[in-house]
Amino acid sequence: MPIANSFYWTEKNEEVYDDLIVAVEASDQVLSLLLAVCDDPYFRDEIIERYEAELQPRIHPYRVQLSRKEPSLREAIAQALNEDELYLQSEGRAVITVTGTDALLADRLGAERSEKDIFFGYLQWTREALREYPYPIILWLTNPLLKELSLRAPDFWSWRKDVLRFQSAIILEATIRTSYRIIASLVLVPHNLPRMGAGQFVGRDREMEWLHEQFQSGELMGITVLTGMGGIGKTELALQYAHGFYLKGAYPGGVCWLNARGVDVGMQFLGFASSKLGLNPPEYWHLEERIRYCWRHGKAEGEVLVIFDDVQDYETIRPVLPPAKEQFKVLITTRNQSLGQLFRQLELAGLEEEAALQLLGSLVGRERIYQELEAAKALCVEVGYLPLALELLARHLAHKQDLSLANMQQQLQKEGLEVQALKRAEVGMTAERWVKAAFELSWRELGEEEKELGRLLSLFALAPITWSWIERIYSEVDEKKLEDSRESLERLSLLQPVEEGNYQLHPLIREFFRGKLVESSQVEEMKREIFGVMVEIARTIPQTPTRQQIMEVEPAIPHLVEIAEQLTDDLTDDELPWVLVGLARFYLGQGQYGQAGYWFEQCLDIIEYRLGSADPNVATSLNNLAELYRSQGKYSEAEPLYLKALQMRKELLGSVHPSVAMSLNNLAALYEFQGRYSEAEPLLMDALQIWQETFGSDHSNVAATKSNLANLYRYQGKYEQAEPLYLDALQMHKNLFGSAHPYIAISLNNLGNLYLDQKRLSKAEALYLEALQMYNEMLGSNHLYSAMSKSNLANLYLNQGRNSEAESLYLEALQISREKLGSAHPFVAVILNNLANLYYSQGKYADAQLMYMEALEIFMAKLGEDHPNTRKLKQNYNERYQGGITMSGERTIGIGRDDWETNINTPEITVVGDAAKQGEQININYGQDKELVEATREIQDLLKQLSASHPVSTTMEQMTVVTEVIKVIESNPTLKQRTINAFKVGLMETLKQFPGGAILVGAIEGWIQQNELDNVG
């Protein structure tokens, strides 16, 4: 690293440099715009060389010089980064330095706009365009340019992460001269400011600017209020502002600091007037008369700043306020939000992550933070970016050099506010109290009912709390009284409104309130009330939640998770499964199978532990988990769970119980998937008989089982038996659920599949479109059911020769299914097969082959070689046929005690044969060397990638891309040989559909011919 020993490297410049390094280090894979300011180009270059050397090799530096001809920031960056694309593709870290702004001309020189005009014009609309570069960007400016930028590119200016101002030699000399003048004048300025204690004041630049703007507004006695929770940094900001602008000479009339908590404010002011102004009104006067006398006779010349710190009640400071004159500026800090409603208010929030890390680094040491950056970030999250907590932690870590940040985080998680690091305010700190003591001051101001509300809120998760839940819990309490209690918590910044009707506790406030639970005798009753509300919400989550239903219950999910992870021992046997299955259904409804599986497994484990292995609820949990496995194509894992659940139900409930029927139905569905039709039919017939005997003929489970039986008949080509069952199921669903319900869409979809098999295409299309519209409206267009419906509609269009419409739907369905199910699910294979048929009919043989092979591998792995889908796909792959096979079916909903049982309702999906081109075919079979196909795919991906990142609008540009591809092939002997072989069997023809592809195919042909000539020679 270069030694920083030049005249420029003052203590102030070193601090700015440290801020720059921290800002760059903290910006990992995220765009962060840093404006660096320096008027001396030699010093600027020295700074750049220093930080580039220090950051390497962890962070790769890039230099960008703006072009005067075309001063576009984005284009300059793009050009520089394209030269090192491989490094960036490896997700390496980078920092981009941009210079050249100081060389831009302000004169037009005959042009329509000057270079500066063009630069600022680009800059104003650059923000969104830069999002593709997830790196810190350091834009170097001069001080005049910085001022211009804030005015001429306000959108870009508002987006800055930080402004880093370095002082050049000229500025330093001027600063020294100015400092002498200011020091001489400050000797005469009266003030009683406390000493500043923060190790480094960070993250509040915009707040400082905002404060000063308010005080320069020209109002009579402008009063501004800083509000926020204890420990948020109100006093520190006020102190930093007062010191900073006092030293700048902004308040030549004086600065008066008055502590408003626990001390007589009036007497404090009289002490200031006596010691600093030499004013001593007679002591026998009333206090307010003495205060007015001092304000009248102060003879202050210029503006005066008066600060009232930690005000609880406005009435305590009202008699001490200065006269309503423009020269007096008043700043109030308070936790009382209601004071902010009287005057201009700035409510402080926690620090941003970068500023929080800077604060830690200023006391702990920057290198220590870098070494444990993730742990440092986690510490910031644990304390909710609260400045007081961060400073206490940092000072503790500074004393404990052998204590790692990770261990500190573990201590904090375990001990909360009682951790030793948060229990000591050191000498020299601005804050005189530790975190818990700071919160205690607000706690003392609460009434008992308000304290009890705080305790109850702490039992919720660290997430927004919907107020209507609290109103239901306190339904017997007067609504106005409850609202007053909430407003008291808000007033003291102990509760924050986050959006309409929702409130949230700060992490440390929540921890503090939880610590107060031991003082209440109502804790168990509070839990029971919360459980009642949350379980009621969980019960409303259906097996197939619509998009609207998901949105309605989403706010409750973090709180259900909190109960499931922390409070299951307090739940009753009836409440427990609802919480766990409700969570599983929520995630299942969005296709998040991993999350759903976790909660189903938790449900099984906890219920089996609590109730024993011979309980009907355990059987229900086994069924739920089996259904999830089936939906994921994990058939071998699902079957033993289905069989175990069926056996348990027969033993515990008898052979004709509805729960037995459900197990029979679900096991039959699994056998349908596996093509074990002869085993599935008797199971469905038994289930249907139990449903009808138990509930009669008009029940949703009867309808579902009829639909499943119809699917079975259709698979076997028994269309006459299938159709009346489909129609019965559709009508029953309409009678039970109205005209719009996911089960109705399933019935429409399944009936459409039957009509497609029978070539009744117009009827099938109408049903498919109606089902798809229903899915999109109720579940969203990105739902798995919508994907299934799109796939079936695409099958229809393929039969009608509407290839472009079919391809679009197939691709949409494929993308959604891969996102929701993973790449190795049988449904993904279904779509791959159908899309392959389409591509084959269009002569895209290589693309088709890749998809056939991938689909066949999935079927063989998931369904086995003897499954009808596997056999027919092999036939379709090798012989090209017409016909249809199907997979999947409808599932039922639960009943009775087991109505928290989950059964995954899936519309039926059709695997189609080739309904199009029957002419010339390339003889491709599954036994052909897969390596040739993989080589073709590799070259195809490379061509697509380079075409996307390089201009390809002209032949010359395309030839440049082709040259790069050839270089890659030449550098890999194995790939080179496979390319030759793939070309010879015609696989490379698929490349022609991409920009530059035809040139590449011709180049490969010529390159092969040349190689052959060389070999002959």
Please tell me what DSSP assigns to residue 195: P
- Provide the 10 A C-beta neighbour count for residue 1012: 11
pLDDT of residue 924: 27
Alpha helix ranges (H) inside 654-760 = 658-673, 677-695, 700-715, 719-737, 742-757
Does a structural domain hold residue 453? yes
> What CATH number is given to the structural domain containing 81?
3.40.50.300
Structure-token pair, residue 83: 């030269």
Compute how many other C-beta atoms are within 10 angstroms of the C-beta atom of residue 426: 14
- Residue 928 half-sphere exposure toward CB, CA atoms < 13 A: 20
Q: How far apart are the first and last CA of the chain?
A: 57
Check whether residue 890 and residue 857 sit in a common domain.
yes
Number of domains in the chain: 6
Domain boundary among 411, 436, 461: 436
Task: Give residue-wise pLDDT tens across range 21-53.
Answer: 988 988 877 888 899 998 887 788 889 989 988
pLDDT classification of 2: cutoffs 50, 70, 90:
very low
**Are 433 and 444 a contacting pair, CB within 8 Å?**
no
* Structure confidence at residue 892 (pLDDT): 23
* 487 located within any domain: yes
Which of 179-193, 386-400, 405-419, 973-987 has the weakest average pLDDT? 179-193
Structural domain contains residue 588: no
Q: Is residue 429 part of a domain?
A: yes
CATH number at residue 488: 1.10.10
Q: Where among 347, 363, 393 does a domain terminate?
A: 347
- Which span out of 409-413, 491-495, 726-730, 944-948 was modeled with the highest average pLDDT? 726-730
Q: Residue 1: what pLDDT?
A: 39
- 3-class state of residue 200 by DSSP: coil
Same domain? For 389 and 371 the reply is yes
Residue 877, in any domain of the structure:
yes
Same domain, 973 and 888: no
Do 827 and 879 fall into the same domain?
yes
- Is the CA virtual torsion 785, 786, 791, 795 positive or negative? positive
Same domain (yes/no): 803, 882: yes
Tokens of 605: 């484990």
Within 13 Å and on the Cβ side, how many CA atoms surround 258?
Answer: 27
Predicted local distance difference test score (pLDDT) of residue 330: 92
Tell me how far apart the alpha carbons of residues 222 and 329 are, in angstroms, rounded to a whole number: 5
**Residue entry with tokens 């249907």:** 688
Rounded to a whole number of angstroms, the CA Rg of the chain reads: 36
Same-domain pairing of 900 and 945: no
What secondary structure does DSSP assign to 372-437, as a single string? THHHHHHHHHHTTT-HHHHHHHHHHHHH-TTS-HHHHHHHHHHHGGGSGGGS-PPTT-S--S-HHH
pLDDT of residue 651: 92
Q: Are residues 211 and 337 both part of a single domain?
A: yes
pLDDT at 75 over 60: yes
pLDDT recorded at residue 642: 94
Secondary structure letter of residue 540 according to DSSP? T
Please count the other Cβ atoms lying within 10 Å of the Cβ belonging to residue 1014. 8
- 23 located within any domain: yes
CATH number of domain containing 860: 1.25.40.10
- Same domain assignment for residues 200 and 326: yes
**Confidence at 783, pLDDT banded by 50, 70, 90:** confident
Q: What is the pLDDT of residues 683-734, one digit of tens each?
A: 999 999 998 988 888 888 899 899 999 999 998 899 999 999 999 999 998 9
Query: Are 43 and 148 found together in one domain?
Result: yes
- Residue 639 in domain: no
Lowest average pLDDT, out of 36-45, 75-84, 466-475, goes to 75-84
What pTM was computed for the model? 0.55
* Beta carbons of 99 and 63 less than 8 angstroms apart: yes
Same domain, 194 and 91: no
- The answer to whether residue 548 scores a pLDDT higher than 80 is no
Domain range for 79 is: 11-173
SS (H, E, C) 610-664: HHCCCCHHHHHHHHHHHHHHHHCCCHHHHHHHHHHHHHHHHHHHCCCCHHHHHHH
Assigned domain for 121 exists: yes
| 18 and 119 both lie in a single domain | yes
What is the DSSP-derived secondary structure letter of residue 351?
A: P
pLDDT, averaged across the chain = 79
Among 642, 629, 624, smallest CA distance to 580 is for 624
**Residue ending a domain, choose from 347, 371, 391:** 347
Neighbours of 609 (CB within 10 A): 10
Q: How confident is the model at residue 427 (pLDDT cuts 50, 70, 90)?
A: very low
pLDDT for res 463: 87
Compute CA distances 359 → 260, 365, 406, whole Å.
28, 10, 17
- Assess whether 363 and 416 both reside in one domain: yes
The SS3 of residue 937 is: helix
Estimate the crossing angle of helix 205-215 against helix 234-247, to 10 degrees. 60
pLDDT value of position 88: 57
